[in-house]
Amino acid sequence: MDGMRVFLRAVSEMTATVKAVLAKAGRKLDEVDLIVPHQANLRINETVRRRLGLPPEKFFNNIQTRGNTTAASIPLAMAEAREAGVLRRGQLVMLVAFGSGFTWGGALIRY
């Protein structure tokens, strides 16, 4: 694999997915309380966060302590965010992922 190509594609698709999901839902980025991304690579997540213009507290990462837990990364990150008091009932939360096989997707949920 060409690591830089994967990195750039992941950043591009995750950023575009956040915007597309919000547009489809008729919402704006500033309405989102928290983004919980797939925890594959901190550099990818931080680049997506910066491209979206979000402060660190609106983008939850736990890859630094948990590593890449593949398909379980978003549910585990949500559980950790809830335990830390960062994720609370009623919040508008964006889930976004880019994974193996060059697949990506997102969901906007009311937690």
pLDDT in tens, the chain (111 residues): 788 999 999 999 999 999 999 999 999 999 999 999 999 999 999 999 999 999 999 999 999 999 999 999 999 999 999 999 999 999 999 999 998 789 999 999 999
Reported as type and span, the H/E element at residue 5 is helix 3-25
DSSP string covering 6-72: HHHHHHHHHHHHHHHHHHHHT--GGG--EEEE--S-HHHHHHHHHHHT--GGGB---HHHH---GGG
pTM of the predicted structure, to 2 decimals? 0.95
CATH topology of domain 3-110: Peroxisomal Thiolase; Chain A, domain 1 (3.40.47)
Write down the domain spans for the chain. Answer: 3-110
